[in-house]
Structure 1
Amino acid sequence: MEFQSHHPVQTSDRLIAIDLIRGVALLGILIMNIQAFSMAFSAYSNPTAYGDLTGVNYYVYYVSHVFANQKFMTIFSLLFGCSIVLMADHIVKKGGNASKMHYKRMFILAVVGIAHAYLLWFGDILFPYAIAGSFAYLGRNLKARTLIILGLVFIGLSSLLMWLAGISLPHWEQAEVEAMQSLWMPTAEYIQQDLSNNRASWLGQMDSRHMMASKMQTNIIFYIPRILGLMFVGMALYKMNFFGQRFSNKSLLIAGGISFIISTIAIIVELEQNFALNWKFELMFLGIQYNYWGSILMAFSYMCFLLVFSRLNILPLLQSAITNVGRMALTNYLSHTIICCIIFYGWGFGLYGSLERIEQFAVVLAIWLFQLVFSTYWLKHYRFGPFEWVMRSLTYNSLQPLKK
């Protein structure tokens, strides 16, 4: 049977629970990303580097770090691995070449990621996902147990690399230490230059944007193993039918509750230690280990709770809206960048460095509301999100039917 390249996965084939969880993850990542869009990037990792950290701003940071930092990106990575197996199985059933289609998708995603990073915002995740996804695909036929072991090995590798970087600091060249310190705790002059760069025109911002994008990709070695490991675990969860009916609501609530309590305690202990140490430079590598592992446990707890939520007829309109956001994840992810660039950068309203953390969170809520409404409206009239449609058309070598 010859494969017809214009047959993408249809809506009826989707697992609604996965789309709902992806929707929550997509909305959730903005809680942290808004900090990188709106203020000196150092403040993302070191909250004392820039901006007011008293009163309500302190609590906004604290809560967002404990319950959002790395949690939603972890879910995103797990679901990416899940989708690799899901789409490969679908293509094979249609008689197609799953490997060819996968690597074509990863190539297109990598190109989109590079364009995203260098033309709009340096904090792109699409390029590293394309790289990790290319390697993760090699494990699609492995058993779930093997995938979990592989996943933990790669997740541990990223943790080990950061730990080794931290303990090796005394042996670094002085110039290297100073360069890293300038990112961790920037001087007033550095911050002023950063504000000037990001309040400039699109062309005026280009050198700064390209420099930051290059730094992110240079440091890819630190986080690619984690992404790859999480994709392997996501594949295993799919093969175990975790997103289906294998586990009862009671089992999911118990597992989720235990994971949530353990991870919350661990992350709070680490955060209190970091504040007690005044966020000294060594914490760049050594002060993140509890959250590194705790974020995985907390992400798992979120998925357990959301699976139960998806099974119950509670707030059906909200469930539907979040599911629509998840079905348009690529469009909504890129629209985060477009909206935030317009709000914060000089070629928009130029509010970069001007909003306190509580005001940033208000922007997050407004964007959430917009995306819930827009995604629901769009998918009433069209089969795919705008960027999903472009991605599918390029992948399948033909314009896909868009209108319902």
Structure 2
Amino acid sequence: MADMHTSTQDNVTRYLSLDALRGFAVMGILAMNIIAFAMPEWAYITPLAYGGDGVADQISWLFSFIFIDGKMRGLFSLLFGASMLLVIERAETAGRSGMRTHYARMFCLLIFGLIHFYFIWFGDILVTYALIALLAVQFRQWEPERLIKWALIVYALGFVMWALQFGGLQFLQWAATQPGADADLARQFREVVNSPELQFNVTQELTVHRGGYTEIVADKLTDWTQPFTAALQALTETLPLMMLGMALFKNGFLIGSWTAADYRRWALRLAVTGLVLNALVGLWVALSGFDKITALAGFLAWSLLPRLLVTLGYAAGLLLLIDKYASSPLIARVAATGKAAFTNYLGTSIVMTTIFYGYGLGLYGSVNRAWLWPFVLGACVVMLWWSKPWLDRFRYGPLEWLWRSLARGALQPMRR
């Protein structure tokens, strides 16, 4: 596999591998985000909170947890790191300041993300990317080996931090629920379980999201710091993934420079190992009766290592797939979906909130978990349907054009 199917458009080199991977990622992200679009937030973590009464719904949760949760976001984070290097390189080749271009883009992305969070959907990831990218870019000149080493160190530190927190919480739960448990331990555990952070708040969320637009916006504005705290919580996962993305771009992994045997070997080693480990965590949560503490620990702590393995394994496997079917019409459409990923990501939020929230069709909380898959499939079909014809006529997706124009301070040419 040589550098995978590059093309030159408007004097800019594009890599089919990066575009198609981004296309798969933006479609895959919706498969998890759909829960938070359609149900109270805790349903994402445990079906015990909402939408988990039926066997099909619980199987749906388990399938998503094992195969999808965090992996598509992980792919997106890898690609974001790689894209930072590409943008800086292209700017410097064109005689502009690479760092100034990066900072301008991240400032605009931050504004887009804040608008997305406050006025469209609370599950925004753009603020997190914009803020963490300001740190990640400082390592852009490191060699791949150094990037990989420190990325894994930061990731491991994050794992230890979450494991200590939730492992301790699980130990407290076990100790406090044993026959003859110490009264003080039992009291501490009750205080933790009854804390506001561990309440499902289903009735409140149903009321808010079945209401009007102004009520939904007002509810988010009451917790205006959430996008920034979310970025801080995601730091030890997203930063190392961006660093790995930079390393894997530099060493040729993300652009198809490795051999097919290498991609196949890493796909099998990483994906299979990670999926088995993740399945064990998911089954543990299921066998606990989807207990909220066990589910939260599985989601935030114990799935971290499997999630990284599966993300990298998926990347290797998808790169093999993209190379094998590079000339197919479907991969061309997936790549176009990836080129317009920013428009597709924000457009999906607009469409899905309009379908589920009270100011739209008002389906919030009324569609079973298993029946959300047709919504995901329908949205993916739409992304694949519109992206390529649009990009055959125009240089950028609509929001990509707006982002580029704002970052450069001038309207960019749109038509080909």
TM-score, normalised to structure 1's length? 0.91
Following TM superposition, by how much is the alpha carbon of 1:297 offset from its aligned partner in structure 2, in angstroms?
Answer: 1.2
Matches within 5 A, 1:66-215: 66-167=66-167, 169=169, 174=191, 178-182=195-199, 186=200, 190-211=201-222, 214-215=225-226
1:368 aligns with 2:380: yes
1:232 aligns with 2:249: no
Q: 2:267 matched to which residue of 1?
A: 256
Q: 2:403 aligns with which of 370, 391, 396?
A: 391
CA distance in 1 between counterparts of 2:58 and 2:247 reads 38
Amino acid at match of 1:292: L
> What are the superposed Cα offsets for residues 180-225 of structure 1, whole Å, 9 maximum, x if unpaired?
220xxx2xxx322211110111002123333466445334322122
Residues 212, 164 of structure 1: CA spacing in aligned structure 2 closer, same or farther, 3 A cutoff? farther
Q: 1:380 aligns with which of 392, 401, 411?
A: 392
CA distance in 2 between counterparts of 1:133 and 1:368 reads 28
CA distance in 1 between counterparts of 2:260 and 2:53 reads 40
1:340 aligns with 2:352: yes
> What are the superposed Cα offsets for residues 46-87 of structure 1, whole Å, 9 maximum, x if unpaired?
121101342322222221111100000000000000011111
Q: 1:5 matched to which residue of 2?
A: none
Following TM superposition, by how much is the alpha carbon of 1:279 offset from its aligned partner in structure 2, in angstroms?
Answer: 3.1
Amino acid at match of 1:260: A
CA distance in 1 between counterparts of 2:35 and 2:215 reads 21
CA distance in 1 between counterparts of 2:65 and 2:11 reads 35
Amino acid at match of 1:33: N
CA distance in 1 between counterparts of 2:327 and 2:91 reads 34
Following TM superposition, by how much is the alpha carbon of 1:107 offset from its aligned partner in structure 2, in angstroms?
Answer: 0.7
CA distance in 2 between counterparts of 1:27 and 1:302 reads 14
Amino acid at match of 1:311: D
> What are the superposed Cα offsets for residues 352-381 of structure 1, whole Å, 9 maximum, x if unpaired?
001011221100000000111011121121
Q: Please identify, of 212-221 and 108-117, the stretch whose mean Cα deviation from structure 2 is larger.
A: 212-221
CA distance in 1 between counterparts of 2:9 and 2:161 reads 38
Q: Please identify, of 149-158 and 217-226, the stretch whose mean Cα deviation from structure 2 is larger.
A: 217-226
> What are the superposed Cα offsets for residues 102-129 of structure 1, whole Å, 9 maximum, x if unpaired?
0111111011101110111111000010
Following TM superposition, by how much is the alpha carbon of 1:304 offset from its aligned partner in structure 2, in angstroms?
Answer: 1.1
Q: Which runs of 4+ in 1 moved over 4 A?
A: 8-12, 167-173
1:298 aligns with 2:310: yes
> What are the superposed Cα offsets for residues 24-58 of structure 1, whole Å, 9 maximum, x if unpaired?
00000000000000001101011211013423222
Q: Please identify, of 275-284 and 19-28, the stretch whose mean Cα deviation from structure 2 is larger.
A: 275-284
CA distance in 2 between counterparts of 1:181 and 1:362 reads 31
Does the CA contact (< 8 Å) of 2:45 and 2:296 recur in 1? no
> What are the superposed Cα offsets for residues 122-169 of structure 1, whole Å, 9 maximum, x if unpaired?
110000100110101100000101101121122223222322322454
Q: 1:247 matched to which residue of 2?
A: 258
SS at match of 1:13: strand
CA distance in 1 between counterparts of 2:165 and 2:82 reads 31
Does the CA contact (< 8 Å) of 1:117 and 1:213 recur in 2? no
Residues 326, 214 of structure 1: CA spacing in aligned structure 2 closer, same or farther, 3 A cutoff? same
Q: Percent identity?
A: 28
1:277 aligns with 2:288: yes
> In the comparison of the two structures, how many residue pairs are matched?
391
CA distance in 2 between counterparts of 1:204 and 1:228 reads 34
CA distance in 1 between counterparts of 2:151 and 2:52 reads 39
CA distance in 1 between counterparts of 2:100 and 2:316 reads 33
Does the CA contact (< 8 Å) of 1:75 and 1:299 recur in 2? yes
Provide the aligned C-alpha RMSD in A. Answer: 2.1
Following TM superposition, by how much is the alpha carbon of 1:239 offset from its aligned partner in structure 2, in angstroms?
Answer: 0.6
SS at match of 1:52: coil
Q: 1:400 matched to which residue of 2?
A: 412
Does the CA contact (< 8 Å) of 1:325 and 1:376 recur in 2? yes
Structure 2: unaligned runs, 5 residues or longer = 1-7, 173-187
Following TM superposition, by how much is the alpha carbon of 1:271 offset from its aligned partner in structure 2, in angstroms?
Answer: 0.9
Amino acid at match of 2:110: A
Does the CA contact (< 8 Å) of 1:162 and 1:222 recur in 2? no
Does the CA contact (< 8 Å) of 2:40 and 2:365 recur in 1? yes
Does the CA contact (< 8 Å) of 1:122 and 1:212 recur in 2? no
CA distance in 2 between counterparts of 1:176 and 1:276 reads 20
SS at match of 1:14: strand
Structure 1: unaligned runs, 5 residues or longer = 1-7
Following TM superposition, by how much is the alpha carbon of 1:307 offset from its aligned partner in structure 2, in angstroms?
Answer: 1.2
CA distance in 2 between counterparts of 1:95 and 1:21 reads 29
Residues 69, 245 of structure 1: CA spacing in aligned structure 2 closer, same or farther, 3 A cutoff? closer
CA distance in 2 between counterparts of 1:167 and 1:253 reads 35
CA distance in 2 between counterparts of 1:173 and 1:143 reads 50
> What are the superposed Cα offsets for residues 270-326 of structure 1, whole Å, 9 maximum, x if unpaired?
111112223334335532334211111111121112211222246711101100000
